[in-house]
Chains A and B, each alone.
Chain A
């Protein structure tokens, strides 16, 4: 298993600003992911955070809007840039301790962002 800590747990942001969310894992993990859960919607994968290289983004998500860093095997950040009210969501960091994206994911508690 893995214990994941996210900061901040919640924030209220002004339109046009940017916010960086941090994800710290208590052990080295191979794969780290960032998800978004918009109100009433499913968990949607934003990107896979790759250690030492650029993140792999899913369709509909771009690096300019959601820059991601992963400097080592236990830490990653997600920035939500130039925020608008549509970015109000819960953002979740998740990891798998295996070598494949087969299934069991461990999630952080999430960061609830409200954009005014």
Chain B
């Protein structure tokens, strides 16, 4: 079963604009959420995370928002840069059960 869903397989934005990547989850036991970025021929790299006790976490151009009631999180990239072009994976974890689930990824293309 797919407990973490990224419904948009791809997203294209103009350089300098905002990129918004969305993620939904179904398991209310998840209490830690992460975003990973993956370039071709490389492994995913950790980008930003948020605990379920927060609704926002910001790190430079990257901000993650969590809406627990809607079981939804989003990643905002402002301003978007061509180097941000990559596949972004959403992940949710439940440390109590040693469980982490990934979404299928969204391919972001930032056009110059």
Contact of B2 (CB < 8 Å), options: A9, A42, A103, A107: A42
- Asked whether B44 lies within 8 Å of A42 as measured between CB atoms, the reply is no
Nearest B residue (CB) for A101: B98
Do the beta carbons of A42 and B103 come within 8 Å of each other? yes
Q: How many A-B residue pairs have CB under 8 A?
A: 61
B34 adjacent to A104 (CB under 8 Å): yes
Given A41-B104, A42-B105, verify A107-B89 contact (CB < 8 Å): no
- How many angstroms from the CA of A9 to the CA of B41 in the assembled complex? 9
**A43 at the B interface (CB under 8 A):** yes
Contact A109 B104 (CB under 8 A): no
Residue of A43, A48, A109, A110 contacting most chain B CB atoms (<10 Å): A43
> Are the C-beta atoms of A101 and B95 separated by less than 8 Å?
yes
A42→B98 contact, CB < 8 A: no
Chain A residues with Cβ below 8 Å from B41 are 9, 109-110
Q: Are A102 and B46 in contact (CB under 8 A)?
A: no
Bitwise, A66-96 to B at CB < 8 A (1) or not (0) is: 0000000000000000000000000010100
Query: Which of these, A44, A45, A92, contacts B43 with CB under 8 Å?
Result: A92
Bound form: Cα–Cα A40–B9 in Å: 9
Decide if B104 touches A105 in the complex (CB within 8 Å): no
Q: Which residues of B contact A (CB under 8 A)?
A: 2, 4, 9, 32, 34, 36, 41-46, 49, 89, 91, 93, 95, 98-105
